[in-house]
Amino acid sequence: MKRAFTLFLLLFLSWAPASLAVVLDPEQVIRPELLTQALNALQDEGGEAGETGRVVIVDYSRHSREERLYVVNLETGTVTAYRAAHGLGSDPDHDGYLDSFSSVPESQASPQGAFRIAEAYHGKHGRSVRLDGLDDTNQTARSRAIVIHAASYAEPDHLARYGKLGRSNGCIVFSEADLATFLEDVPEGTFLFIGK
């Protein structure tokens, strides 16, 4: 069923990507142009990562206090939104906005583009998930240890105290509770797109 839906999705994308954005996100939680970019990137990858029934989109044009990571259910069209921290090197003035992307090692910046969610593991931040970069803009993601994890600077009490999330070394960082929910819903192999 998921494979058939993915094939339908890719055929539909080939002639009406803007219309599909409304079908997939009827509440228009995600900026339509970013959703279209992400779906086009999924199509460029052959749509295989869409077979998990989910697509993850990160909109780093939004402030870190806002929900800006979206899980799109490709079967129902619904969207679940989360807060997520970005990299220190992408926000040197720490105003809560990502200024720039980078894939340069030791930049502590967030990379952009298309990724595949890889295997889960337990590291210094507890349960975490590796990311494999699929573009020239993020080929170094695995070697840089750009992963998904939880940290205290993404917790609600940090946000309440400072009005923004803290910054990572380029990783996508959730609160503990949000990470647990995200990992229950999003399987290994899912396509992830980071843009601004």
Helix (H) or strand (E) holding 37: helix 32-44
Annotate 13-33 with DSSP letters as a single string. Answer: HTT-HHHHHHHH-TT--S-HH
Contacts 24+ apart (CB under 8 A), 150-153: 150/125, 150/126, 150/174, 150/175, 150/176, 150/178, 150/179, 151/85, 151/125, 153/85
Round to whole Å and give the CA distance between 153 and 105: 23
Decide if 63 is catalytic: no
Closest by Cα among 146, 159, 131 to 86 = 146
Round to whole Å and give the CA distance between 112 and 175: 21
Marked catalytic residue, from 86, 122, 158, 171: 171
Buried b (16+ CB within 10 A) or exposed e, 58-76: bbbebebeeebbbbbebee
Decide if 149 is catalytic: yes
Marked catalytic residue, from 63, 86, 149, 158: 149
Q: What is the C-alpha end-to-end distance of the chain, expressed in Å?
A: 32
By annotation, the residues acting in catalysis are: 149, 171
